[in-house]
Amino acid sequence: MTIFTKGPNYLECQNGNERLRIIAWGQNSFRVVATPTGPLDLACSALLPTDTAATVTVADGQAMITNGTLRCVIDNHDWWDRTGRLRFYNAAGDLLLEELNPGGALQRQARRFEPLSGGGQYALTASFAGQPAAHFAGMGQYQQTIADLNGTTLELAQRNSQASVPFYLASTGYGFLWHNPAVGSVTFGKNVIEWHAQATAQLDYWITAGDTPAQIEAQYSAVVGRAPMMPVYGLGFWQSKLRYATQADVLAVARKYHELKIPVSVLVIDYYHWPRCGDYRFDPHFFPDPATMAEECARYGIKLMVSVWPQIDERSENYADMRERGLLVHTNHGLPVQMKFHGNNEFYDATNPAARHYVWDKVQKNYGAHGIHLFWLDEAEPEFSTYDFTNYTYYAGSVLSTGNLYPREYVRGFYEDEIAANGHPEVNLVRCAWVGSQRYGALVWSGDIHSTFQDLRNQISAGLHMGIAGIPWWTTDIGGFHGGRPDNPAFRELLVRWFQFGAFSPVMRIHGARQPMTKVYKADGEETEAAGAPNEVWSFGPEVEKILTKFIRIRALLKPYLEKVMTAAHETGAPVMRPLFYEFPNDQAAWPVNDQFLLGADILVAPIVHAGDRQREVYLPAGAEWTDARTGQHYAGGQRWQRLHRWIVCQCSCGMADRRNCRGACSDHGSHFPLLTPPPFRPIVNTNKANTKNCCEKMSRSTRCSQRAGGWCEPVMPTRRTWSLSDSGAKLICEAAVGAPIIASEYRPDRTKVTVWTALVRLEV
C-alpha cells in the first residue's frame, strides 16, 4: 500500500521501502528524488536552493502536486501498477512526460535500483515513455552533427572534446535535468527514454514546463545559475597556438599585431611554459621577466592568459607536499599514474576545497603577482590516459558516482578565489563542463578536435547543444587543433571557413598545433614540449591574411550587439549561439537545422562547411522577413534560398514598422558593417569632435560624425536618400531618414532580423 504525505511544497510517496518526494523547485518546476531504502539526500549538487510553494491534493488513490503551470499526478489505484507511476502535465492538460508503463505481465519498473557491493550505492535505471514525435536539444557537447537528439544514445561522462551537461529541452514544452553527476548514459528511444547511472545513492531529476524555449531556458537557468556578465575583452579576437615557447615569441606576436593595427583582446601562453607540470610557475629560462611582458602587452590592449594543468608530475616541486596533504586523486588499483605525458602524472582533486585553494595560492603567487589574471584550465575532464572510471576516487566520492563534477569544481575554485583575491571574476577558459559551470564564469571550448571539415561541421551542433544545456560562453579552436600546415591550400580554405564561423561564435579564438613542430630544449638540454608552426593571421599567405583581418574588424564592430546578447545570457540564461527554433519555435522546419545558427536573436549565420563549396542553401525561418543587403531584395521567411557570395553578407530587415529607417556602424578603421533597427530610437550622442577626421573616410564627404568611446563613431545622414557603404566589393545599401544617426551601440535586437552568409568564390577579398 502506498502512503502519501503532504508538505508545504512537496508530495512524498512511501511505497514499501522506496521513498519518493516531488518538490516544487523554481517556477513551473519540480525536483523528483527517490531512494530504494533509507533517507533522501536533498543536498544541491547543481540546483540552487529555492523556496517555492505548491498545491498538493490526495484523494481516491491518486495524489497530485501543482506548481504554476506544471502538474504531477501519481496514480496508485490499478491492481497491476502499485509503483506510483508519475505523469507530468502542463496547464492545458497536455501530457508532457510520463514514467514507463509497467506493461502488465511484463512487470517493468520505471525506477530500478540494483545494489552494488560496498553498500549504499546502486546501479540506477530510470525509464520514461518514448516521445517519437518530439524534438530534443541540449545535453552538452558531443562530436556529431545531429541537431535532434531524439533517437540517439549519449554517454554521460567527461572526455577530451566531450562534455556531459545532462539537460535537454523538448519541443513539446518541457525541459528535463538529470541531476546526477554519476558516469552513465541516456537513450532517447522512440519507445523509451532511459537514463542510467552506474553508481549512485538515489534518483534525482528536475523538470520544468514552458510555452517557449526561451521561457524553459529562463526557468532552468534560474535554478542552476547564470553566467556572469562577460567582460568586454572577452568579445574581441583571441590569439593562441601550441605554443609560444618563450617570452620573446609572445612579445614578437603582440608587437606585430600592434604594428598592423589588428585588434587582439587576449594572447594565450600555452602549456609547458613551466619547469615541470604542477609547478604552476614560469620557467625563468624561457620567461625571464613575466611582469615586463604583461606590462608591454597591456600597452597594446592585450591581456595575457596562461595555461594551467591539473596534472602534477611526480618530479614537480609541489608533488610530495600535495600527496602528503591528500590533495591528489586516489588510484584504487596499481601504480598512481593517471596520465603519462612527459613523465608520470597524477591529477589534483578539484572536488576537494583544500586542493582548490592550494592550487590557487600557487597560481596567484606565480602569475597574478606578475599581472596575469586570465587562466586556461586545460585537461579539465580530467583526461585520464585510460578512461577506467572504476579505478579512481575523488574527495567527493568514486568517479563512477561523482565523476562528471570535476570540470565544474575545477573552474569553481578559480572563480571563487579570484573574487576573494581581486574583488571580481575573470573569464576562465576550460575544456569541459557540467551543470552549473556557467555560474563560475566558465568559457568552455570544444577540446582537441581535428583540422577537418567534418570537425568544423561538428562544432556547430556542439555549440548549439551546449547553449541549450545552459553553457552560453563557448568557443572552438579556429582551424581545429590536430593538424594543418600553414602553406597547405586545403588547410587555408578550411581555416578561412572556420574563421568565418568563429567571427560569429560567442568567443572568437584561433588555436591549434600547426605543422611542422619544432623541438624545444630546456637550459640543461632536456627536450620539452615542441612548438607548432606559426598560427597568426599573417601565417597563411597575404590573401588569407586579408580575409582574416577583415573578419577581425567585423568582430570588433559587433561588440555593441554582442554586449546586449551577453547581457541577455547573464540576465535570462538565453544562449548566445542559438538554434533557429529558439526564436522560431512554431516553425517545425527550424528544429532539424544543424548547419545554421542565430547569434543572439537577430543575426542568422550560415557558414560554408564543405570543402570546395562556393554556394549553399540557406533556410530563412518563418515568422520574420529577411532582406538581402547586397541587392535590397526582401524575402519572406519559411523558405530555402540558394545563394553565391564572395565573402560575407549582412542580411538585414528593418522590422515591420518602418523599413525606411536604417542604422549601421563604422569603426575608426573605416570598415563598415550595417546593423539595422526601427524606431523608436533615442541616440546617446557624444559631442566630442576630436580625432574623427578619418573614421568614416569611405563614406560620403557630406557625412558628419562624432567620436565615441572605444573608437566608435556616429555618422549622421543629412538628407533622406540611399547611401552605399562599400567595403572591398560588398555593397551594403540602406535608406536613412533625415538626420538619422548611424550608430551600433543603440542597436535594438528585439526589432531586427539579420542574416549572415559566409562563402567564398576564391580565397581573396
Exactly one of 194, 283, 313, 381 is catalytic; name it: 381
Residue 502, SS3 per DSSP = helix
Pairing status of strand 442-445 against strand 474-475: parallel
Residue 464, SS3 per DSSP = helix
Exactly one of 378, 426, 493, 735 is catalytic; name it: 378
The answer to whether 645 touches 732, Cβ cutoff 8 Å, is no
Exactly one of 12, 448, 455, 583 is catalytic; name it: 448
Instruction: Dump the DSSP string for 106-150.
Output: G---SEEEEE-TTSS-EEEEEEEE--TT--EEEEEE-SS--S--T
Q: Write the Ramachandran bin of 498: left for phi over 0, alpha for psi from -120 to 50, otherwise beta.
A: alpha
Among candidates 415, 329, 327, 408, which has minimal Cα distance to 375? Answer: 415
Alpha-carbon span 413 to 752, nearest angstrom: 40
What are the backbone angles phi and psi of residue 641, rounded to the nearest 5°?
A: -135, 130
How many residues are given for the chain? 765
Residue 756's DSSP bridge partners are 605, 650
Alpha-carbon span 309 to 382, nearest angstrom: 10
378 is catalytic: yes
Alpha-carbon span 93 to 220, nearest angstrom: 21
Query: Per the structure block, which three cell numbers stand in for 725?
Result: 557603404
558: number of Cβ within 10 Å: 24
Q: What angle do CA 150, 153, 156 make, to 5 degrees?
A: 120
Residue 263's alpha-carbon distances to 49, 258, 513, 556, in angstroms, are: 42, 7, 23, 8
Q: Residue 542 contacts by C-beta under 8 Å, 6 or more apart in sequence?
A: none
Residue 622's alpha-carbon distances to 580, 583, 619, in angstroms, are: 10, 10, 9
The answer to whether 208 touches 178, Cβ cutoff 8 Å, is no
448 is catalytic: yes
Residue 196's DSSP bridge partners are 125, 185
The answer to whether 606 touches 595, Cβ cutoff 8 Å, is yes
The answer to whether 409 touches 351, Cβ cutoff 8 Å, is yes
Alpha-carbon span 718 to 421, nearest angstrom: 52
Query: Per the structure block, which three cell numbers stand in for 9?
Result: 511544497
Q: Residue 45 contacts by C-beta under 8 Å, 6 or more apart in sequence?
A: 179, 180, 181, 204, 405, 435
The answer to whether 82 touches 111, Cβ cutoff 8 Å, is no
381 is catalytic: yes
Query: Per the structure block, which three cell numbers stand in for 734?
Result: 540602406
Q: What is the dihedral of CA 653, 656, 661, 667, to 10 degrees?
A: -30
Q: For residue 175, how many C-alpha atoms fall within 13 Å in the half-sphere facing its CB?
A: 32
Active-site amino acid positions = 378, 381, 448
